[in-house]
């Protein structure tokens, strides 16, 4: 997804949980995954691209494993950055794959559910053989990321390319709103999985504010 939407999704999902400074650390780490050199070249696992699903799930778990040890030594920023990285990948899962198209195939044309009703955790789809994500075709595809060149480059790329498959912005059509809804749900879920069983004092440090005991 474009940075504008990664930010909006992360803020909507986590703003009620994190204090403003902690939230900005999470958001900044999330957006840094799209850095042209560090994030886009040689790291398809950051974005669920190239069909590297196993590597992407493993990447998310490696970042989750950073959180609690970092908090135990008082390094909240390191923990927050790890959450930002893993939520970026989780958000891109739906925008960069055919998950939504596969889920919509359960329904008759014209009878799609509302975006908030779509299930982001359908194991038959997530683990099934039909799940695919867009491939990056080097060296041509990066030129499609430049708006002035996009209309010239995209027609030259295969239909299984990221350029054709992505749901990165509203110009991609009606499925984009479903990608946003799923990304918000996935972001909340990844936070909940990360803090499961976490002591109140670590949770408070992580979120940058005092957390009432009934929310732990």
Q: Tokens at residue 138, please? A: 């080097």
Evaluate whether residue 144 is within a structural domain.
Answer: no
Q: How many domains does the chain have?
A: 1
CA dihedral over 119, 17, 33, 74, signed as positive or negative:
negative
pLDDT digits (tens, 9 = 90+) for 139-185: 998 899 888 999 999 999 999 999 999 999 999 999 999 999 999 99
Q: What is the tens place of the pLDDT at every residue in 7-23?
A: 999 999 999 999 999 99
Bridge partners, residue 135, by sequence = 161
In a domain, 22, yes or no: yes
Tell whether 123 is covered by a domain.
yes
Query: Which residues constitute the domain of residue 62?
Result: 3-135+168-215
- Give the pLDDT score at 39: 67
Asked if residue 127 belongs to a domain, the reply is yes
In a domain, 157, yes or no: no
Report the predicted TM-score, pTM, of the whole model to 2 decimal places. 0.92
Question: At a CB cut-off of 8 Å and minimum separation 6, what does 216 contact?
Answer: 198, 199, 200, 203
Kindly report the backbone phi and psi dihedral angles of residue 60, in degrees, each rounded to the nearest multiple of 5, phi listed first: -60, -45
Segment 38-87, tens digit of pLDDT: 767 789 999 999 999 999 999 999 999 999 999 999 999 999 999 999 99
């Amino acid at each position: 997804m474009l940075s504008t939407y990664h930010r909006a999704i992360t803020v909507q999902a986590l703003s009620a949980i994190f204090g403003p400074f902690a939230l900005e650390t999470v958001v900044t780490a999330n957006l840094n995954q799209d850095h042209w050199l560090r994030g886009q070249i040689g790291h398809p696992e950051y974005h669920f691209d190239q069909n590297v699903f196993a590597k992407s799930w493993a990447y998310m778990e490696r970042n989750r494993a950073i959180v609690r040890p970092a908090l135990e030594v008082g390094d909240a920023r390191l923990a927050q950055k790890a959450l930002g990285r893993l939520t970026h990948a989780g958000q891109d899962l739906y925008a960069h794959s055919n998950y939504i198209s596969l889920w919509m195939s359960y329904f008759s044309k014209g009878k799609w559910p509302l975006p908030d009703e779509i299930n982001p955790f359908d194991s038959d789809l997530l683990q099934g053989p039909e799940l695919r994500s867009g491939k990056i075709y080097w060296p041509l595809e990066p030129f499609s990321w430049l708006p002035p060149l996009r209309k010239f480059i995209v027609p030259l790329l295969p239909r299984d390319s990221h350029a054709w498959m992505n749901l990165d912005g509203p110009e991609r059509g009606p499925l984009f709103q479903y990608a946003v809804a799923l990304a918000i749900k996935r972001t909340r879920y990844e936070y909940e999985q990360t803090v499961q069983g976490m002591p109140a004092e670590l949770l408070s440090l992580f979120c940058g504010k005092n957390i009432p005991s009934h929310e732990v």
